[in-house]
Amino acid sequence: MNLDAFAGETLDAIRERGTYRRMRVLGGAQAARMEVDGKSVALFAGSNYLDLAHHPALVEASAQASRDYGCAAGGSRLINGNLDLHEALECELADFLGTEAALAFNTGYMANVGVIPALVGRGDILVSDELNHASIIDGARLSQATVRVFPHGDVEALDRVLAECADQSGRTLLVVDGVYSMDGDLAPLAGMVESARRHGAMVMLDDAHGTFTLGEKGRGSAEHLDVEEGVDVLVGTLGKSLGSFGAFAAGSALLRDLLVNVARSFIFSCALAPPQVAASRAALEVVRDEPGRRWQLQCNAARLRARLAAAGVSTDPSCSQIVPVQIGGNARTMRICEGLLERGFYAQGIRHPSVPEGTARLRITLMASHREQEIDAFVDALCDLLAEHPPEAAAAPKA
Ligand SMILES: Cc1ncc(COP(=O)(O)O)c(C=O)c1O
């Protein structure tokens, strides 16, 4: 079969399942209002939670870095790409997060597929929450460790798995997300970390959505839930709340040294570009100086959840700036997504395989800069559309 025939057949099957995706074209800087497919809409999608992507301090820092350093690092960190800028960012990240050290990766995806195989391999065990991010699943596959999956957020089940692993030879690594990217709930880290400690497992926390948005100091889910001491490796991104690009793994100095030596996605890839690194450094300063941004973000999320609850719309289990409204059917989900766009709001419909089959949803994300009126208008539009498009079974009852 030639490539086009194969691609056509595969795409037909995807269309038949109702999970065909296309990329929307957005215009302008990432902000609470943007152009989507040529139309100005209020944005309730994306991860620029603190609205830093177009902050003047970041824009100026990245422009200055372009002038001083050019647009590329020009190679991998272990050859010619290790700039003083990278080292400074990593020191500042470690200082902010209260860890001994940090190491930058090019994306959160690359951090997970680099860190996991650096810590466990064949003969070891990786213990993973069933709703962990795809990059953790791929990192687990690459590691060749035995993977034990436990039901989402179930500390008792996790404890049983970890107890069984404790009897095996080899290392055990527990990996969980801090804030689940499709449900907006928080991992019950206190019980998880306690169980891992009791059974001698290492703990890795992917806090892509929690760092800089949660915790008194903005250090994320582990700070928020007071378990920072129990986390061995913290992975976070620079491309979401920080409004820049890249990611990091933070922990001990020995962890950093190990990753520099063995993490393949770090070693065999060009270093982050200077403008991105400079923007991340500037963003970190804004996050330090303006804690009000993360408080406002969480206030906005609470308002959205409360307004939807008052209208009888469940946003369970969200308790963060990621707020899902489960719709169920793929077609209904996408009709409501399109309806919102027509009314001037963009919240993305999410279908399998990003979420389990039958749980298609609208994934609404807040920003610190959303206004109350925008949130309320969004809720009104969504409630109208939910009523206009009842669930498929209710819309077409069998005779
Ligand atoms: C939990 C989680 N981990 C990792 C990633 C990957 O991060 P990045 O977009 O920087 O590759 C994401 C991205 O959506 C995520 O939600």
| 328: pLDDT strictly greater than 50 | yes
314 pLDDT more than 60: yes
Residues 116-167 have pLDDT tens digits of 999 999 999 999 999 999 999 999 999 999 999 999 999 999 999 999 999 8
Determine whether the shortest distance from the Cβ of 108 to ligand 1 is under 6 A.
yes
CA 207 to centroid of ligand 1, rounded, Å: 9
What's the mean pLDDT in 166-179?
95
pLDDT of 393 reads 65
Q: How far is the CA of 237 from the centre of ligand 1 (A)?
A: 7
Residue 398 has pLDDT above 80, yes or no: no
Given a cut of 80, whether residue 9 has pLDDT beyond it is yes
* pLDDT of residue 251 exceeding 80: yes
| Candidate of 109, 110, 214 to mutate for ligand 1, largest count of ligand atoms within 8 Å of Cβ | 109
Using CA atoms, how far residue 116 sits from 122, 163, 222, 235, in Å, is: 12, 21, 19, 11
Please give the distance, rounded to the nearest whole angstrom, from the Cα atom of residue 57 to the centre of ligand 1: 24
pLDDT, tens digit, 9 for 90 and up, residues 223-232: 999 999 999 9
209 labelled catalytic: yes
Q: What is the pLDDT of residue 395?
A: 52
CA 323 – ligand 1 centroid, Å: 17
* Percentage with pLDDT > 70 across the chain: 98
The torsion angles phi and psi of 216, rounded to 5 degrees, stand at -55, -45
The pLDDT, as a whole number, for residue 391 is: 86
In tens, the pLDDT along 31-60 reads 999 999 889 999 999 999 999 999 999 999
Q: Helices H, strands E: what count in the chain?
A: 15, 14
* Number of alpha carbons in the 13 Å side-chain half-sphere of residue 326: 15
What's the whole-number mean pLDDT along residues 346-369? 92
Instruction: Return the C-alpha torsion angle 383, 387, 390, 396, nearest 10.
Output: -170
Catalytic residue (choose from 240, 241, 318, 369): 240
240 flagged as catalytic: yes
Farthest CA pair distance, the chain: 72
All domains of the chain in start order, with CATH:
24-49+291-391 (3.90.1150.10), 56-289 (3.40.640.10)
Nearest CA to ligand 1 atom 9: 108
Q: Tell me: the pLDDT tens digits for 364-378?
A: 999 999 999 999 999
**pLDDT on residue 41:** 96
Residue 397 pLDDT exceeds 60: no
Atom of ligand 1 nearest to the CA of 132: 1
Ligand 1, atom 15, residue with closest C-alpha = 208
Which pLDDT does position 399 carry in this prediction? 43
From 209, 224, 370, 389, the catalytic residue: 209
Structure tokens at 311: 């209208």
Query: What does the pLDDT read at residue 295?
Result: 97
Predicted TM-score of the model (pTM): 0.95
> How far, in Å, from the CA of 394 to the mean position of ligand 1?
36
Question: What integer is the mean pLDDT of 220-224?
Answer: 98
208 lines ligand 1 (CB under 6 A): yes
Mean pLDDT of the chain, nearest integer: 95
Q: Indicate if ligand 1 lies below 6 Å from the C-beta of 239.
A: yes
Q: Is the CB of 321 under 6 A from ligand 1?
A: no
Say which residue, 359 or 187, is predicted with more confidence: 187
Read off the pLDDT of residues 278-298 as tens digits, 9 standing for 90 and up: 999 999 999 999 999 999 999
